[in-house]
Amino acid sequence: MEDGWVHLCVDMQRMFAEDTPWHVGWMERVSPAVVELATRYPERTIFTRFIPPPHRTAARGMWRAYYEKWWMMTGEHLHAELVDILPELRRLVPPARVFDKPTYSPWVDGRLDAHLRIDGIQTLVVTGGETDVCVTAAIFGAIDLGYRVILLKDAVCSGADETHDASLKLFGDRFSVQLKIMETVAFLTSVR
């Protein structure tokens, strides 16, 4: 594996791991693989955090309709500590970095891409959740921007088996030139 890679860990946050309306039951199951990679390479890890607006009226466009449905997940109702990444990952910051985003995609405002380009990053090793929402948005944006993507299939999670499986199939079938699907152990062995 070349030097120009980072681990992009998508939204491994307490609000998805704990008892909230957005709970993702699989997060606990994939956390050991994510923690293993991040612990070995904290200086190469970027954690994204999905940040809901302070209140539903602060959201624009269709995000406002989204937060009309999920009003209890806005800043005025959600305990602030639940927005943070899991404690076992938080302890790695720094040298690991945290990148906040108000949308599914971390690419919308250009900050993450600019940061990665300055560091000469060419490959993103993607973990986190949810496979069929924020992970997909991160992967599509990365591919559009020309990054090579390695998706660690045992280190991504979703709240829905069917769409998780469909997402992995889509990535494997349609994006095989730009994306490689691996197990975490195989990836870690390749960078030793």
Query: 71-96: b or e for each residue (b if 16 or more CB lie within 10 Å)?
Result: eebbeeebeeebbbbbeebeebbeeb
pLDDT surpassing 60 at residue 1: no
* CB-based contacts of 44, cutoff 8 Å, min separation 6: 5, 6, 7
Residue 180 φ/ψ, nearest 5 degrees: -120, 135
Q: Residue 86 above 60 pLDDT? A: yes
Q: Show the domains of the chain with their CATH numbers.
A: 5-52+82-190 (3.40.50.850)
| Res 41: pLDDT | 98
Average pLDDT (46-66) is 96
Report the predicted TM-score, pTM, of the whole model to 2 decimal places. 0.96
What is the rounded distance in angstroms from the CA atom of residue 162 to the CA atom of residue 10?
20
Task: Read off the pLDDT of residues 102-121 as tens digits, 9 standing for 90 and up.
Answer: 999 999 999 999 999 999 99
Q: Which band of pLDDT confidence, cut at 50, 70 and 90, is reported for residue 4?
A: very high
pLDDT over threshold 90, residue 3: no
